[in-house]
């Protein structure tokens, strides 16, 4: 399998995981029907990749150039819709799928940005953005405060995973190995943050009025 084919495969696994995640969130929120569930699954699954392609100027986005992404996203959402009882038996499925999608997109997004000629620093941010983009659109549409803004490390694992994926090849490590290591770092930090309740420092405001 070529490096490009492997990257596509990783992306499609990420799309599937995010579609499951988005569809499950849709079913938990206010009374969405089949089409609302599929729509939210698709937005979650392909939103980050579309955002990445728009910002890289690679238009139309990959999502619209082939049918793989949309078919995978629709499939994932339908599996969640019809299989939610089965999924519910798994431990915390939403968070698990969200973590898989986050890790894969952060890593592939960052490497695609480097391939497009973006400098390492901004490529890392673009990778992070690719990772959190779909979930953030999902949260805005169902009117949750987005995960990127709330506690429980979300954007930080994505950015650190992107750092590994971008810096690794600069140090002579193969892109595939660096992507794998970056994904493990992202998923590990996110999972650790959730299980152990790792938290970032907060500003200690005495009262909200203090600032206005």
End-to-end CA, the chain: 57
Question: Site for its own copies (CB under 8 A): which residue of 7, 10, 26, 102?
Answer: 26
Answer yes or no whether residue 145 interacts with its own copies by CB under 8 A. Answer: yes
Q: Quickly list DSSP for 154-168.
A: SHHHHHHHHHHHHHH
Please name the residues in contact with 192: beta carbons below 8 A apart, sequence gap of 6 or more.
198
Smallest separation, CB 177 to its own copies (Å): 26
Q: Which stretch binds its own copies (CB under 8 A): 104-112, 147-155, 168-176, 181-189?
A: 147-155
Structure tokens at 117: 């000629």
Nearer to its own copies among residue 58 and residue 177 (C-beta): 58
DSSP category for residue 197: T
Answer yes or no whether residue 212 interacts with its own copies by CB under 8 A. Answer: yes
d(CA 140, CA 144): 6
For residue 156, the tally of other CB atoms under 10 A from its CB is: 16
Q: Where is 31: in which H helix or E strand?
A: none
Question: Site for its own copies (CB under 8 A): which residue of 7, 12, 24, 104?
Answer: 24
For residue 83, the tally of other CB atoms under 10 A from its CB is: 12
Q: Which stretch binds its own copies (CB under 8 A): 102-110, 149-157, 164-172, 173-181?
A: 149-157
d(CA 160, CA 125): 10
Q: Which stretch binds its own copies (CB under 8 A): 3-11, 78-86, 162-170, 173-181?
A: 78-86
Nearer to its own copies among residue 46 and residue 178 (C-beta): 46
Residues that bind its own copies (CB under 8 A): 24, 26-37, 39-40, 50, 54-57, 59-61, 63-65, 67, 70, 81, 84-85, 87-88, 92-95, 113, 116, 118-119, 121-122, 125-126, 136, 140-143, 145-146, 148-151, 153, 155-156, 199-203, 205, 208, 210-212
């Amino acid at each position: 399998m070529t490096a490009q084919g492997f990257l596509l495969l990783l992306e499609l696994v990420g799309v599937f995981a995010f579609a499951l995640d988005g569809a499950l969130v849709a079913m938990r929120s206010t009374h969405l029907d089949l089409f609302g569930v599929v729509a939210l699954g698709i937005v979650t699954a392909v939103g980050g990749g579309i955002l990445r392609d728009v910002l890289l100027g690679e238009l139309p986005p990959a999502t619209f150039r082939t049918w793989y992404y949309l078919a995978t996203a629709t499939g994932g959402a339908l599996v969640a819709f019809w299989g939610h009882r089965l999924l519910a038996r798994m431990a915390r499925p939403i968070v698990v799928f969200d973590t898989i999608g986050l890790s894969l997109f952060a890593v592939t997004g960052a490497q695609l940005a480097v391939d497009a000629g973006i400098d390492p620093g901004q490529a890392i941010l673009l990778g992070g953005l690719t990772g959190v983009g779909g979930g953030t659109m999902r949260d805005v549409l169902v009117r949750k405060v987005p995960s990127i803004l709330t506690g429980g490390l979300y954007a930080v694992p994505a950015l650190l995973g992107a750092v590994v994926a971008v810096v690794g090849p600069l140090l002579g490590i193969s892109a595939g190995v660096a992507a794998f290591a970056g994904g493990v770092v992202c998923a590990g930090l996110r999972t650790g943050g959730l299980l152990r309740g790792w938290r970032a420092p907060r500003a200690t405001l005495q009262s909200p009025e203090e600032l206005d």
